[in-house]
Amino acid sequence: MIAALFPGQRTETNNMFDSFDKEDVRNFLDFSSRLFDRDIFSILKFPPDQLSKNCNSQVLVTVYSAFVIDQWRKKQGPSFDLVAGHSVGEYSACFYAGIYTYEKLINIIKYRIHLFEECETNNGYMISIPRTSTKEVEKLVFDYNKNIQISNYNSPIWNTISGSAQDMDEFVNFLKAKNIYFRKYEHSIPFHTTFLKDAGKKMCSFLKKSGLNKESDIPIVSCFDGNEKKYREEIIESLSEQIYNPVLWTTVLKNIVKKKVGIFIVFCSSDTKFQNTISQTFPDLRLYCVYNDQTLRTAIRGLNGKNINHLS
């Protein structure tokens, strides 16, 4: 069986479309630019500190996922049995699963960007703590004993903490005193924490009025609770709740593997951070990482040559 995984923010790069057919890229980005009312070609030229801004990052990772889905289908790639996405990537997973059209996906992402821009006044941020076990990170948060939260359970040795700026500044000093390595994310807000509960409630109302289909074509494994979703109401709940609840990415991967999925297709640029979340959780898992035309063709050729039993 095959599962497709879609990345979230901070996997965008300036050259993420460069190794695909130039005409296909131009046509798709022109179309997407009209839907977003923004010139995506111009965004791709931004320096890294601008590229990673919430308003740009969400655009690029969403359009990239949709473009590679389009290429996968045009080149007759096999269908998937399950899909999942990390944070904003879950919205792309729902698009592949047929719960809404590409046009509706873009409208939803535009609204999500708007919600997060409203939240930037919350004055909070995120840090990641790589190379430290989840259990150790949980203990650090517990020992610190202030209003900070684990927002992303990315892998057994890579987790993310979010909170208000004041509490996070103090937590950073707490980590420095213990000589614990961390990375601070620029252009961030306290994603996937209760600070964004109002944004999640607004997203729920927006999605209910967005004309989603009653049922998806295949199950979507939610990063909100790690469970499969197929029906409109539960998908709306998942896409809304994940805004202010932690991303349980490790749980997502474990639950997919429990379904006897043997092959993962990772639709991500050549940046390796997202792939590492998978390989750190399941080092021996078979991955096809699609980040250019060659790797896409290799994956399709390899999978079409196998006798694969699908759930669907």
pLDDT score recorded for residue 243: 96
Q: What is the pLDDT of residues 112-149, one digit of tens each?
A: 999 998 887 557 899 999 999 999 999 999 988 788 99
pLDDT score recorded for residue 186: 77
Residue 8 to residue 268: CA distance in whole angstroms? 9
pLDDT score recorded for residue 69: 96
Percent of the chain predicted with pLDDT > 70:
96
pLDDT score recorded for residue 309: 43
User: Which of the residues in the chain have pLDDT under 70?
Assistant: 121-122, 270-271, 306-312
- What DSSP string describes 224-251? TTS-EEEEHHHHHHHHHHTTTS-B-HHH
Strands 286-290 and 82-85: unpaired
Strands 183-184 and 124-130: antiparallel
Q: Report residue 55 as tokens.
A: 């308003």
Residue that the structure tokens 């729920």 belong to: 204
The answer to whether residues 265 and 290 touch, using CB atoms and an 8 Å cutoff, is yes
Contacts of 74 (CB under 8 A, 6+ apart): none
pLDDT score recorded for residue 287: 87
pLDDT score recorded for residue 146: 80
pLDDT score recorded for residue 44: 97
- Give the SS3 label for residue 293: helix
Which of these, 283, 281, 268, lies nearest to 4 by C-alpha position? 268
The answer to whether residues 28 and 67 touch, using CB atoms and an 8 Å cutoff, is yes
Strands 2-6 and 148-155: unpaired
Strands 263-267 and 286-290: parallel
The answer to whether residues 87 and 12 touch, using CB atoms and an 8 Å cutoff, is no
Q: What is the pLDDT of residues 75-107, one digit of tens each?
A: 999 999 999 999 999 999 999 999 999 999 999
- Give the SS3 label for residue 39: coil
What residue ranges define each of the domains in the chain, with the CATH number in brackets? 2-120+194-304 (3.40.366.10), 122-184 (3.30.70.250)
Burial class (CB in 10 A: 0-12, 13-18, 19+), 5: buried
Q: Which residues pair with 129 in a beta bridge?
A: 159
Q: Which residues pair with 84 in a beta bridge?
A: 5, 221
Handedness of CA 65, 276, 287, 249 (dihedral sign): negative
Residue 119 to residue 196: CA distance in whole angstroms? 7
